[in-house]
Structure 1
Amino acid sequence: MSLMTSKTKWPEGLSDPSGRRQSKPRTEGRTMIIDKGIGVQAFEDMLETSGEYIDIIKFGFGTSPLYPLKVLRRKIELANRHGITVIPGGTLLEVAVRLDLIPGFFRQVLELGYSGIEVSDGTISISRTTRSDLIRDAKSLGLTVFTEYGKKLFGSRIDIGDFAETAEQDWACGADLVTVEARESGKGVGLFDEQGECRDGELSRILSAVPNLDRVVWEAPLKEQQVYLIRSLGPNVHLGNIPVQDVLTLETMRRGLRSDTFELQQVPCYDYMI
């Protein structure tokens, strides 16, 4: 018997053995990637290959003003066309706060077609009043707001009580998701120790203190961190700072299509003989 058909299609269960992944637009298991400056062709190739599995693209740090405008507009246009929320890095907004250039920042964000922003204070200190005002102002302009908690300085830890309070206030002001800082290295900041391993006790305390974990993004740039969080919090945990080349890899782990998370499969396993 020939196994060839006129319409080539993988058996339904093979695409998502976990049986849990949503199609876009997702409310669960969102993936935020960090683009540190790839070119338009590489960006387009990435979206063609794995755009279905990307929910948010962050143009990292303060890279946005350094692009040729034609290139930046094209990348933003491509992301929007794929139903992806695209934002400049939170560091750029911190620079705008420090230089008192907030109106110009928002004006350019809207003019370029960004669909959201990130409000953070990882490098400078921003008062609660200013943080709240930035969130509300962005929402009033029709932008999706992601906030970030934690400092970028190596060795910085999470103050659980402060994080819980900050997150609740951010959500009350209109933030969509609150991100736990880990930088692009994933080492020595926030949830992760100097070797990039998760501080189990810290995660447990956060789980007890913050009830709305479905509105928290965990920056986890390293594969072992992604595996740990998927195993601990499930395949629909929100993950951020994912390198552009790792989108498909992460999605296989979410679905139980890689040995690291094989146990996530929820379908019976049958012996099959041709």
Structure 2
Amino acid sequence: MKSFEFLSTNREEKPRKCGITMVLDKGLGLETASSLMDISGEYVDYLKFGWGTSIVHEQDIIKAKVEMYKNHDITPYTGGTLFELAYKKDKLEEFFSEAHNLGFPAIEISDGSVNIPHEDKLECIGLAKSDGFEVLSEVGKKDPSLDKELSLDERIEYMNEELQAGSSLIIVEAREGGKNIGIFDKAGKAKEDEIDYILNNVAGDKILWEAPAKDQQVFFILKLGNTVNLGNISSDDITSLETLRRGLRGDTVGKI
């Protein structure tokens, strides 16, 4: 039983179909991660093993962390960089096998760093689905100059095609910094007109908005409500975001 629950806005319990929170694990130790999930795991839906961090840590630690997250009803998944490397090196079969061996129930498919023809990306989504994985796919480039070459209509087309190919969620690229990329300007402020255009053309409950900064999280919650799907949340900010969703901080109190 929690304290002062009578003052809190209720939230849908897991497994949630909306109000999803995706947290970025940048290399937490097992004990640290386990302790964090003991206190905040109920507020986390997806846990991304960032970038290529799974390569530089021992397999038994990765396996133990994956199992621990699943025990908290969290879906752990591999970051898109691993998929992109596997695609580039023509090692997709080995990549899928290793992900299964480590216990990952889901993978991210992206083309943020490696040039992948969109038809190939769609085919890879289908391959991963047929191999038993849940797929989250990401739209956008990590290099801001390349990302700007993608028109808004192209992004929307890609998002809808990737959903049709089997992705359960579409991640809107913002990187860890959330500035000068995708839907955020150089100062990290959301481009509201572009967000509205996306929402008019893509199912909102299928979008996972990367929003690493507090101001970005506040923006989305005030604009779309506390059931908005948010990602790339720092492990340090899990409780902070949950209090924003429940109207327990000055930014959202009385507004949820």
| Superposition deviation, residue 12 in structure 1 | 4.1
Question: What does residue 227 of structure 1 align with?
Answer: 218
Query: Which residue identity is paired with 1:90?
Result: G
Partner of 1:10: 3
Q: Structure 2-normalised TM-score?
A: 0.95
DSSP-derived class of the 1:261 partner: coil
Tell me the equivalent position of 2:183. 191
Alpha carbons 1:255, 1:264 under 8 Å: kept: no
1:46 aligns with 2:46: no
> Deviation digits for residues 193-251 of structure 1, max 9, x if unmatched?
111111122222222232x0110000000000000011111111000000001001000
Question: Contact 1:220–1:242 at 8 Å: present in 2 too?
Answer: yes
Question: Does the C-alpha gap of structure 1 residues 255 and 9 become closer, same or farther in structure 2, counting only changes over 3 Å?
Answer: closer
For structure 2, the 5+ residue unaligned runs are none
Residue 79 of structure 1: aligned partner: 69
What is the Cα deviation at residue 262 of structure 1? 0.8
Secondary structure of the equivalent of 1:191? coil
> Which of 119, 129, 149 matches 1:129?
119
Which residue of structure 1 lines up, in the alignment, with residue 208 of structure 2? Answer: 217
Asked whether the equivalents of residues 220 and 240 of structure 1 are also in contact (C-alpha less than 8 Å), the reply is yes
The alignment covers a number of residue pairs equal to: 254
* Alignment deviations for residues 39-75 of structure 1 (CA, whole Å, 9 cap, x no partner): 1111111111100000000011111111111111111
RMSD: 1.4
What fraction of aligned residue pairs are identical, expressed as a percent? 41
Who is 2:168 aligned against? 176
Give the 3-state SS of the residue equivalent to 2:41 in structure 1: helix
SS at match of 1:33: strand
Runs of 4+ off more than 4 Å: none
Instruction: Determine the C-alpha separation between the residues in 1 that align with 2:31 and 2:221.
Output: 31
Partner of residue 235, structure 2: 244
Displacement of 1:13 after TM fit?
A: 2.6
- Give me the whole-angstrom Cα distance separating, in 2, the residues matched to 1:205 and 1:168: 14
Cα 1:9–1:83 shift into 2, 3 Å: closer
Residue aligned with 2:252, SS: helix
2:86 matches 1:96: yes
Residues 55-64 or 125-134, more deviating = 125-134
Match of 1:207 in 2: 199
Report the residue type matching 1:13 in the other structure: F
Look up the SS of the partner of 2:77 in the other structure: strand
Question: Aligned equivalents of 2:32 and 2:4: distance in 1?
Answer: 30
8 Å Cα contact 1:35/1:57 also seen in 2: yes
SS of 1:240's partner is: strand
